[in-house]
Amino acid sequence: MGRWMTAGVAVLLLSACASVAPPPVAVQPERGAAVPGFALATDSFAFPNEIRARHPEQEDLYANYCFVLARGLRQFFLFARFEPAAPRLAHEGYVERVRAVAARAPWEPAPPADDRIVIPGYANLREFSRAEESAVKEGLGGRFWTLVHWTNWRVTFPVTGGHQAGVARDIMDELAGGRLVQLLVTNWPKPELNHSVVAFAYRPGAQGVEFLVWDPNDPSEPGVMTFDAGVRRFQASRLYDTEPGPIRAFRMYYSWLL
């Protein structure tokens, strides 16, 4: 068992090192792209992930759930179907529907509309999560395993400009292909930003490309991350409660391993 564990760790470390410096890629789009069918005003949660430092006295705070909410946004977009004319359910019924949505792996392809999990009585996720907030939170589940996910170690490692250019290119390709992209963003060692957001569109910027993201800490307005093609790094242009400046970005939950 010890030999297998050592070999496994070695493979992970070698694969991580191999991913740090991919071949140079061009990140200077001529036009933008957005995920078809996704609208921030209707297809996102109505309630925020709270920041504990802002509410130190509140014990039951819904804080440190950014990974859960970002993943949940993708899962609802892929696997749920809303039917506003259908009869509404009791609290427990909605909890079970949300659990069914959250049980699906976010890297799976979206099934046909008829095979998606029906959320009756509401027109969209924003309306549903506003009216049934407690059921949605209960159904999405806890935060523990997202906080200790093995890929979170990446926030402590430096990365090259080539790596970050590769991430930017991957995000653009995924968005152009109609898929939301969940990101781990950090400015560690500054203890300000270790967070997850969801990119849903990009557009050309003066220095490279601007990514529009849904930020669980600020559900009402789109956030903006900029990839500066000249220096090949990301900038926090407008992320909630984050000082503008350089950050690092990594894709999250796009395979069973990552």
Cβ neighbour number for residue 143 with a 10 Å cutoff = 17
User: What's this model's pTM, rounded to 2 decimal places?
Assistant: 0.86
Where do the domains of the chain lie?
22-34+147-251, 52-144
Q: Which amino acid is it at 215?
A: D
User: What tens digit of pLDDT does each residue of 96-112 get?
Assistant: 999 999 999 999 999 99
Q: Give the rounded percent of residues in the chain with a pLDDT score beyond 90.
A: 69
Q: Are strands 117-120 and 218-228 parallel, antiparallel or unpaired?
A: unpaired
The CATH code of the domain at 22-34+147-251 is 3.90.70
| Length in residues, the chain | 258
The Cα-based distances of 33 to 25, 51, 106, 184 in angstroms read: 18, 31, 21, 21
User: What tens digit of pLDDT does each residue of 56-66 get?
Assistant: 777 789 999 99
> Where does the pLDDT of residue 152 fall: very low under 50, low under 70, confident under 90, or very high at 90 and above?
confident
Instruction: Evaluate the CA torsion angle 256, 100, 212, 178 in order and state its sign.
Output: positive
- Is 213 within 8 Å of 225 (Cβ atoms)? yes
